[in-house]
Amino acid sequence: MFKRLLALAVALFLAFPPLAAAGEKLALKVGMGDPIDSEMGAIGTRFKEIVEARSHGAVEVQLFPSGQLGDETEMIQNVRGGNLDMAVVGIANTVPFVKKLGILTMPYIFDDLYDVVRATTGPAHELLNDYAIREGGFRILGWTYTDYRYISNSRHPIKTLNDIKGLKFRVPQSAVLLASYKAWGANPVPISWSETFTALQQGVVDGQCYGYITFLARKFNEVQKYMTEVHYTYQLQPMIMSQRAFLAMPSDLRRLIMEAGRDAQEYCLAFELTESIKARQRLIESGVQISQLEDEPDWKRAAVSRVWPEMEAFVGGREAINAFLAAIGKEPWVPPQPSALP
């Protein structure tokens, strides 16, 4: 399935012809936290092109990147209330509204990109979308692939678990990510995304965590000189739409919107896979030193053994965790006995 999806995604990315639209338009406003040259911008732009072309001018998609419509929490609240049609937001920011979406932030829940794709397509996507509709008042039209949350800092290279101890890291307001960094001996500090560059620049925190494309788009390389490829969590950004706005549309338009979301998701996967390589090289050329961990099994053991039992209830309980694991073809999680914890 993954190879077929990837082949289609690459074809869409490299060969899809220009799209155009004309005529009277119904406007859909889409808020995004990241710049237009990020993965959010890629999925938003592709969604806009597809919808405007296939609706023959009946729908105009208006994009508002870089937090123009407020921070991501505000945008989610406005989507839920029917005051904003759509938004593309970080998964961690949806968790206060749909706790089971926090399963996606559990450390090392994904072994590789195959797992990530399985989590965002087929039965797993339907499961997560059902949670979003029933608990959050919004539906997930597509997923933005934003790479692993690689760790960057301004102090020194991080190659071992000991190297991260004592450093301050900006993290989103995510209990799971906070717990993960604490398990490694670091000091996580919740800071809003819009204030992150300033916090890094002024030394309020030593580092942050994000993938290469947005790291470059946000110009973090101006204030961060060290990055480490850590694979503890893959940053997913759902494209959400107000369920109220969705149901107010005629059935043919609802179908078009859903298809456009899926196609834009496939395009975004190819965008991420191709553009992240280029962004990584540009960062190296700008002076950023990129390291690989020498002891990642130790990072995994420290995070999984502590964070999973601690966050079990927070993300909806063991039944919800195992339902998701089953949907992506993995074995159920069995919590360790207290005596087995380090």
* Architecture (CATH level 2) of domain 151-232+281-327: 3-Layer(aba) Sandwich (3.40)
Where does the pLDDT of residue 336 fall: very low under 50, low under 70, confident under 90, or very high at 90 and above?
confident
- Rounded CA-CA distance 264/12 in Å is 9
The angle subtended at Cα 212 by Cα 310 and Cα 69, nearest 5°, is 80
* Inter-residue long-range contacts of 255-263, CB under 8 Å, 24+ positions, other chains counted: 256/51, 256/54, 256/55, 256/59, 257/51, 257/141, 258/141, 259/50, 259/54, 260/47, 260/50, 260/51, 260/54, 260/141, 261/47, 261/141, 261/142, 262/141, 262/142, 263/12, 263/46, 263/50
User: By C-alpha distance, which of 116, 128, 134, 93 is closest to 324?
Assistant: 128
- Write the DSSP string, 65-93: -TTTT--HHHHHHHHHTTSSSEEE--GGG
Beta partners for 234? 148
Question: What tens digit of pLDDT does each residue of 65-112 get?
Answer: 999 999 999 999 999 999 999 999 999 999 999 999 999 999 999 999
Residue 23 has pLDDT above 80, yes or no: no
Q: Is 332 helix (H, G, I), strand (E, B) or coil?
A: coil
Element of type H or E holding 229:
strand 226-229
Residue 2: which pLDDT band, with cuts at 50, 70 and 90?
very low
Residue 15: pLDDT above 60? no
The CATH architecture assigned to 2-147+238-279 reads 3-Layer(aba) Sandwich (3.40)
C-beta separation of 174 from 208 below 8 A: no
**Residue 337 — pLDDT band, cuts 50, 70, 90?**
confident
Under the banding of pLDDT at 50, 70 and 90, the label for residue 248 is: very high
Give domain limits for the chain: 2-147+238-279, 151-232+281-327
pLDDT recorded at residue 6: 52
Residue entry with tokens 């996507």: 125
What is the C-alpha end-to-end distance of the chain, expressed in Å? 38
Q: Are 242 and 137 in contact (CB under 8 A)?
A: yes
Across the chain, what does the average pLDDT equal?
93
Mean pLDDT of 325-337: 94
Residues 6+ apart with CB under 8 A from 105: 91, 92, 95, 174, 176, 177, 233, 315
C-alpha span between 83 and 75 (Å, rounded) = 9
Segment 223-235 shows an average pLDDT of 98
Half-sphere exposure of 247 (CA within 13 A, CB side): 8
| Sequence letter at residue 13 | F
**pLDDT at 3 (0 to 100):** 52
Q: Which two tokens stand for residue 251?
A: 């059935």
Whether this prediction's pTM lies above 0.85 is answered by yes
Q: Per-residue pLDDT tens for 290-314?
A: 999 999 999 999 999 999 999 999 9
Between 9 and 91, the more confident residue is 91
**What are 125-161's pLDDT values in tens digits?**
999 999 999 999 999 999 999 999 999 999 999 999 9
- Confidence (pLDDT) at 340: 52
Closest CA to 229 of 293, 154, 178, 287: 293
Asked whether the predicted pLDDT for residue 268 surpasses 90, the reply is: yes
User: Averaged over 316-322, what is the pLDDT?
Assistant: 98
Query: What pLDDT is stored for residue 1 in this prediction?
Result: 47
Q: Name the 3-class secondary structure at 333.
A: coil
| Residue among 58, 64, 103 at smallest CA distance from 260 | 58
Burial of 242-265, coded b for 16+ CB within 10 Å and e otherwise, reads bbebbeebeeebeebbeebbebbb
The sign one gets for the Cα dihedral 56, 59, 60, 66 is: negative
